[in-house]
Structure 1
Amino acid sequence: MTTSAAPQSPTIPELNRLIVRLPPDERTAFEGCLETIPLKVKDLLFEPDQPHDYVYFPHNGVISLVTVLRDGDLIEAMTVGKEGFAGLAIFHGANSSACRGICQVSGYVSRITVQDFRRCMDLAPEMKRLLHRYAQYVFETVSQSAACNRLHVIEQRCARWLLMTHDRVGRDDFDLTQEFLAEMLAVRRPGVTVAIGILVSRGLIGHGRGTIRIIDRAGLEQASCECYNTVKKREAILLQ
């Protein structure tokens, strides 16, 4: 397991946005079932086709849902941060999903057992409404990512991924190795090395041993493809 710096405790601006938006009665009942824990990079949350024990609501940590092929290759299907939750399969009545869930960026998440989650859903109409809208956001994001992976160059995709992660963690510095980023983008590591080098040379990011620092956010948005802004607009419509 990769060693990373201890995550900071969540503060009010970093609390999961789905939980924050609940009416007081639903939030009180829901938070009574939550356990907040720290996660480190590559911590395993669930495996494909295996029953889930928990549903996860990130605060300042980020969860990656990845598709695992028979030869062991991985590709990221979806990134989950404080805007959402990991457990759509449970919400839709299934007991497992086709994805592996791993920690992408260290931080805090709250988790709730599957049994408590389903019990709370029976008594939480606003949470149900929010999660249905989040499910639509996931569908649209995955669709946009499929187009992005097919049509846009690695440098643009790398910039988009860094922007999305920056949005979710709420800080300029976060854990990231080139090997892990290559896995998430489903490209060879030399391609990621070149893309990171270009972004560093343009003064958009800093890159240390296993860490990334966002230096020029506006410049990074210009380096990204149209997909970042497309997804952000839909997020504002569906989740704000």
Structure 2
Amino acid sequence: MWRFAGRLSLVLGLLVVSTAVVAAPASAAQGVTVRISEVTGRFEAGATPAQMTVVATKRTRECIKVRWSLVLRVEDMSLDQITVDRREEDGSFPVEFQDNGAEGRLTDERLDPGTLCRNRTVTARYTIAFDDDASGGRVTLRAEAFDARNEFLESDTATRNVQGDESPSPSPTPAQEETVEPTEEAEAPIAGGGIGEPTTPAAGTGGSGLLPVGLAVGGMMVFLGLTLLLRARSKLLRGQPAGRPGIRGTWQSNAARTIRERR
């Protein structure tokens, strides 16, 4: 009975120690907060590089050194179209780059110059630029903080859409369209005409409509002349009084009178 209790106590003690060792880094990381405080500029092909600022703070008293690492994940575009520069006050900060296809990682070659303590911050700055011919897509930026023993502390993530170089070709202006259309109409008969092919005159051109018009005018003139002649003849007929002899009747009456006188 006592031997069993002793063995059980030993096993429990080992479990407690191992749990404390595993939980130690996690409990140390609880005092650190990482936040992407600012992302400015345009995520656009050929635009001025965008700016990103990451800030780490600490709630506990002990001070630590920080190593920064930035993870980039892209969608619908390539990592080769992006240029990232880790910046400090005195210029570019050396980093080690790892390319994993759709994901890349930039890790500081040395610890950040600042020291992270309570009520103090450590800041990392990055510039992000896109090539002139970069395609549109999406980029995710995850900033991670590690301590001097390369143990993970905390991270923060930001995602942005990238506007690519997809400018459509300019459409012709109305002035250009008006200039092109007459040229095409003028060249159409030349393109259609060939050896032995008759040329069809365009509708409405000079000479094609004069013959029908002349015939119509002539017909109207003939009709008007006939009408005037008929009216003149009818007036002459109506103008003679009833019983008035004509030329023949006058000659006959004179002849009869002469005969009577002779008798």
Comparing both structures, which one devotes a greater share of its residues to helix?
Answer: 1
Comparing both structures, which one devotes a greater share of its residues to strand?
Answer: 2
The alignment's TM-score, normalised by the length of structure 1, stands at: 0.22
- Structure showing greater relative contact order (alpha-carbon pairs closer than 8 Å, 6 or more residues apart): 1
The alignment's TM-score, normalised by the length of structure 2, stands at: 0.21
